[in-house]
Structure 1
């Protein structure tokens, strides 16, 4: 009986060590899964941005170098918004660039 109890205590100690290792491994797996999910989301966002940039580049390549007439479709394609300030205004393009125009 003492021998069995001694073996059981040793096994319990081994189990406790195993449980700590198991918990650490489980935590690491969960952390890596979260990192993978974030990387996939980042990749998707980057791909969407790259597609938008390519779309704008293709549009610009098709257009004449010098714009002489107002074209509402061009404005809608290129311009995100106009912001008016006293003495100037800001043109923000969909590409993320902006231009400050002073009076």
Structure 2
């Protein structure tokens, strides 16, 4: 399970903002040149705003993924601390791991605090 989580939420799959950052620097330089030549630079400004929004979106996406990685690490650490085999319901464990349980007909969905969901047929 940890291997699957690492594959899905690995840092390697976060969105890199370096390309956008270099484009922003280049556009800012173009604006300075256009301003010095007294040329219109409205299109450049609009592109900078678009790229800033895209960069912000990527940063939020990466922060969300980092939050999920942290919750999974916390959950894994908690599970590693548990000793012995579980043979009965443990309220503390359930409250630590499970965010919600939905039952619809013969299907049950367990939503974990890590963001993962598991569907079970009843």
TM-score bin (small chain): 0.5 to 0.7
**Residue ranges of structure 2 left out of the alignment (5+ in a row):** 1-36
Give the 4+ runs in structure 1 shifted more than 3 A: 84-92
Residue 30 of structure 2: aligned partner: none
SS of match in other structure, 1:70: coil
Is the radius of gyration larger for structure 1 or structure 2? 1
**Equivalences, count:** 85
Query: Cα–Cα, structure 1 residues 34 and 87, in superposed 2: closer, same or farther, change >3 Å?
Result: closer
- TM-score normalised to the size of structure 1? 0.65
Higher relative contact order (CA 8 A, sep 6+): 2
What is the TM-score with the length of structure 2 in the denominator? Answer: 0.56
Question: Hey, what's the Cα distance between the residues in 1 that align with 2:44 and 2:105?
Answer: 61
Choose the corresponding residue for 2:77, options 58, 61, 65.
58
Return 5+ residue gaps in structure 1 as ranges. 1-13
Deviation readout 1:49-68 (Å, 9 max, x if unpaired): 11111111111111135212
